[in-house]
Structure 1
């Protein structure tokens, strides 16, 4: 369901491709405090690209801060529309990704890569406004990958950003093991980095409810054959054949965290 807003103030993040709109809710209900939508409508023009948001409650109602990366714009006309819109109406799709914030936590630790910057910016704003201690760890995707926009924005909020150049389980284990008490972990990274970080955090004592975030990109899901106990890549279809024993399998909706796979039950042949 769409939500509608009246633009109060546009803006830009200095020396970056990001524009933002502060807007007041006019109809609908926005439940998630932070998230990402897959599309929006500005002045009745449909724009199919991701935008992130943060809900800002005021004494007179509900406001949002909406962020868009102009580098992701499909064409120059859309870019100009976003740059030049200083007032008017904006409508948002239902959130495709949501992050719920626990304001009772003493500290937040955020792991993010290049694809997660869009959603991390509104989250950092909310945490800063609430005075919650926050640490950001940026995971490089390649050698010269530099999160200039994220570092500049976080610095304006007095939040440190540290660079992780490669996955090193021992050093990350030490980092997380010292912070399991009263800490919320947020992971917004590509799969399988997201999966590895969440698994490590759970092993070190983070409860399931103490881990927020989502994976970006293609998720590598598996099916576990209950006949031969082996794994294979999960297809789009609800039925498949085991690549190892040849059994015809019905893929259930049950995901086993222990096996890290969906269960594939043997189909009964009449």
Structure 2
């Protein structure tokens, strides 16, 4: 386990129960300039971070609830880091409202760079709220609050120029729907970066009836098609075109 110990230099409340802190790393090191970690002294307490000064080991953190101790210990998982693309003409970020903590550090980090980026914050709230106002204050005309719909996403993506890259941050069901719309329009795998959160539901494509079923536990290599009821061997091959694992007829 990679443990990072930080001294909290200054902490303040942003809105609701969301806090931000400027910290100095006393022990260990963050794997990237921006990313996601967990507070070791709080169960499932997500913390996002971005670098303020690598030379001085200064970072800014975002998390839920005030931290009582002058120190905070964090751990991270390399597989869950936000991998920010560096080669693009324009970057569009679609952020689901459920990923507030993850998005705060990411957006703040991007404002420190000379990136041509635009942020779409997906929420069903029609009225202005403190979260969208916070983003609006930071990003100005580079920010829009939208309600999620395939028609709206289609309209936004169709108007983009060649060289635009997408970064999708949200629940798996939402980011996968946006990915499908983007690919129909013509975006390639290399132009779409996905960071899904929560439980991901994988599917199996039946070789007999060509329908989709929910993939069982990873330890099980056999299942029954929920449509034609035939027994299937679950392949390790994942089809990006179908967005599913292939299920072959069991012999």
The question of a shared fold, defined as TM-score above 0.5 by the shorter chain, is answered with yes
**Aligned-partner Cα distance in 1 for 2:43–2:236:** 33
Q: Determine which of 145, 148, 153 is the counterpart of 1:172.
A: 153
SS state at 2:88 partner = coil
Q: Quick check: 1:23 aligned with 2:23?
A: yes
**What aligned pairs does 1:59-138 form with structure 2 within 5 A after superposition?**
59-60=55-56, 62-70=57-65, 79=66, 82=67, 84-85=68-69, 87-95=70-78, 97-138=80-121
- Aligned-pair CA distance for 1:106: 3.7
1:86-140 residue CA offsets vs partner (Å, 9 max, x unmatched): x335232325622212334343211112212211111111110012232121222
RMSD: 2.7
- Alignment counterpart, residue 204 of structure 1, candidates 185, 201, 204: 185
What is the alpha-carbon distance in structure 1 between the residues aligned to residue 119 and residue 14 of structure 2? 20
Give the SS at the match of 1:19: strand
1:21·1:67 contact (CA, 8 Å) conserved in 2?
yes
Where structure 1 has 5 or more consecutive residues not aligned to the other structure, the ranges are: 71-78
Which ranges of 4 or more aligned residues in structure 1 deviate by more than 6 Å?
Answer: none
TM-score, normalized by length of structure 1? Answer: 0.78
Aligned to 2:36: 36
**Partner of 1:224 in structure 2?**
205
Q: Distance in 2 between matches of 1:255 and 1:174?
A: 29
Deviations 1:168-196 (A, max 9, x none): 42x43332133243333111122432112
Contact 2:150 2:181 in 1 (8 A): no
Alpha-carbon distance change, 253 to 174 in structure 1, aligned in 2, over 3 angstroms: same
After TM superposition, the structure 1 = structure 2 runs for residues 127-206 of structure 1, keeping only pairs within 5 Å, are 127-140=110-123, 142-144=124-126, 147-158=129-140, 160-169=142-151, 171-206=152-187
Give the total of aligned pairs: 249
Q: Check the 8 A contact 1:124/1:154 in 2, yes or no.
A: no
Could you tell me which runs of 5 or more consecutive residues in structure 2 were left unpaired when the two chains were aligned: none
* TM norm structure 2: 0.83
What SS does the aligned partner of 2:9 have?
Answer: strand
